[in-house]
Chains A and B, each alone.
Chain A
Amino acid sequence: EPEVTQTPSHQVTQMGQEVILRCVPISNHLYFYWYRQILGQKVEFLVSFYNNEISEKSEIFDDQFSVERPDGSNFTLKIRSTKLEDSAMYFCASREGTGGYQPQHFGDGTRLSIL
Chain B
Amino acid sequence: DQQVKQNSPSLSVQEGRISILNCDYTNSMFDYFLWYKKYPAEGPTFLISISSIKDKNEDGRFTVFLNKSAKHLSLHIVPSQPGDSAVYFCAASPGSSNTGKLIFGQGTTLQVKP
Contact = CB atoms under 8 A, between A and B. Distances in A.
A55 interface: yes
Interface of A: 4, 6, 31, 33, 35, 41-45, 48, 50, 55-56, 91, 93, 95, 97, 101, 103-109
B98 interface: yes
A93 to B, nearest CB: 8
Interface of B: 1, 32, 34, 36, 41-46, 49, 51, 89, 91, 97-107
A56 B97 contact: yes
Contacts of A91: 43-44
Which of B44, B46, B49, B103 has the most chain A CB atoms closer than 10 A to its own CB?
Answer: B44
A97 B98 CA distance: 11
Nearest to B51: A101
Nearest to A46: B101
22 contacts: A4-B43, A6-B43, A31-B99, A42-B1, A42-B104, A43-B89, A43-B91, A43-B104, A44-B104, A48-B99, A50-B99, A56-B97, A56-B99, A56-B101, A91-B43, A91-B44, A93-B43, A101-B51, A101-B100, A104-B102, A105-B46, A109-B42
Instruction: Enumerate the 8 nearest inter-chain pairs by beta-carbon distance, A residue then B residue, closest first.
Output: A106-B43, A48-B99, A43-B104, A103-B46, A56-B99, A55-B99, A108-B43, A45-B101
Contact of A95 (B44, B51, B100): B100
Nearest to A44: B104
